[in-house]
A and B are shown apart, each in its own frame.
Chain A
Amino acid sequence: MPLPPPEALPALKDLLYRMADDALIIGHRHSEWTGLGPILEEDIAFSSIAQDKLGHAYALYQLLHELGEPEPDHAAFLRDAPQFRCCHLVEYPNGGYDFSLMRHLLFDLAEQWRYHLLERSSYEPLAQLARKVRGEIKYHVFHATQWVVHLGAQGTEESHERMQQALLQALPLALGIFEPSDFEEILVDYGIFPGERVLQSHWWETLLPILERAQLRVPPLETLTPAYGGRRGQHTEYLQPLLDEMTEVFRSDPTAQW
């Protein structure tokens, strides 16, 4: 396995932890809908998306393991909230299906762009993973877009209003995805990743036409306060209870063979 230059290693690990923790936590949140989805077909589709996210998290923890970090199960289940690098958006409780769908759209559109940019990463194992997950994430965005456009523009007055409120709640949280990092310059210099600012501008440009199709009003970007902190280990009150529940069985006996 090719190793990155030693001076770029901390930056690469930080990027991988952000991505892996985002995928793990949103996957867990999505999985909380399993068995409770609005209709059978959607329950299956959303649960399947949750499984895909866990798969992405596993692959990213595996990359980290190859760079000297703990094995995937330990990275996922034996860390506490301050050690996580996920953004606040993925930590929030599911709330109603309106918020869950809006978060799903905002998050996956960013994921699609992130992996698209990473397909040309100088760190080849990450570029390979990006090419591998392309199809799955394309479906995730397709699923999210259909739902948000339907409920926003083709549903009832109530569904439109609820999607509008969900957007206003989720948008500042979503901006936290792109929290600047001290490692940004190194990532750009070594051709590993073009940076969060580039990612955010791509995301915003593709998000607006979707929200327009959904007939949702978008507040001006400069009026929003991004929910930063997650990338530095400062989390919402919701993350630790999630981790306690998610890791309860594993922590009862970390050495057990499953």
Chain B
Amino acid sequence: MEAPVQATIRSLDPRVTRLSIPQELPEFTPKPPLDEWQTYEVFHQARPGEQPVHVGTVHAPDPEMALVFAKEQYARRGTTYSLWVVRTADIYAFRSEDADIFATVPEKTYREPHDYKVAQKLLRLKRKSHGSSAADAPASS
């Protein structure tokens, strides 16, 4: 037979016991919508001169607090030189239904860099410096 669980143990977590939460919880009034702090987008710059890269968001009441939180949220590990925060509401973006703006008609390779002679020359140079014969590189166009 198992011993009955003692009713006095409310939680094994001392932090919870310390809170002395009442057994019967009072009624909560529901929060109004959008009651939270606004969000800030966080950009992480690893080294001086490098591009800051978007890494996520934090909730904060203002930019200074956003920096306070962003530091521990996104710069705790690895290398960091700086962080940027930008109010999410200040970012302008295309709407998702306008994603077709970015679709391109095929047969337009002339707009892409690999079709240019200079790209071929660079490729030849690269291969040369890596020790293989320059004759391997095809001279096209």
Could you tell me how many residues of chain B have their Cβ less than 8 Å away from some Cβ of chain A?
18
- Assess whether A48 is interfacial by the CB under 8 Å rule: yes
Q: Are A41 and B58 in contact (CB under 8 A)?
A: yes
Among the listed stretches A32-40, A102-110, A222-230, which one makes contact with chain B, having 4 or more residues with CB under 8 Å of it? A32-40
Residues of A within 8 A of B71 (CB): 45, 139
Q: Which of the four size classes fits the interface of chain A?
A: 10 to 19
> Which 5 pairs of residues, A with B, have the shortest CB-CB distance?
A41-B69, A45-B72, A48-B72, A146-B68, A41-B58
Q: A32-B15, A32-B18, A39-B37 are in contact. Are A44 and B73 (CB under 8 A)?
A: yes
- Assess whether B103 is interfacial by the CB under 8 Å rule: no
Q: A142-B68, A143-B68, A146-B65 are in contact. Are A41 and B18 (CB under 8 A)?
A: no
- Assess whether A73 is interfacial by the CB under 8 Å rule: no
Q: Are A35 and B15 in contact (CB under 8 A)?
A: yes
Q: Smallest distance from the beta carbon of B106 to chain A beta carbons, Å?
A: 46
Residues of B within 8 A of A32 (CB): 15, 18
Name the residue on A nearest B70 (C-beta). Answer: A41
Interface hits, B64-107 → A, CB 8 Å = 64-65, 68-69, 71-73, 76
Q: Would you call the interface of chain B mostly helix, strand, loop, or mixed?
A: helix
Interface string of B1-25 (1 = CB under 8 A from A): 0000000000000110011000000
- Assess whether A42 is interfacial by the CB under 8 Å rule: yes
Interface string of A23-65 (1 = CB under 8 A from B): 0000000001011100111101100100000000000000000
Residues of B within 8 A of A39 (CB): 37, 59
Residues of B within 8 A of A142 (CB): 68
- Give the residue of B59, B61, B72, B73 whose beta carbon is less than 8 angstroms from that of A150: B61
Q: Smallest distance from the beta carbon of A29 to chain B beta carbons, Å?
A: 11
- Assess whether A189 is interfacial by the CB under 8 Å rule: no
- Assess whether A245 is interfacial by the CB under 8 Å rule: yes
- Give the residue of B14, B64, B73, B76 whose beta carbon is less than 8 angstroms from that of A245: B14
A146 and B63 alpha carbons, distance in the complex (Å)? 11
Q: Are B69 and A42 in contact (CB under 8 A)?
A: yes
Interface string of A110-122 (1 = CB under 8 A from B): 0000000000000
Name the residue on B nearest A143 (C-beta). Answer: B68
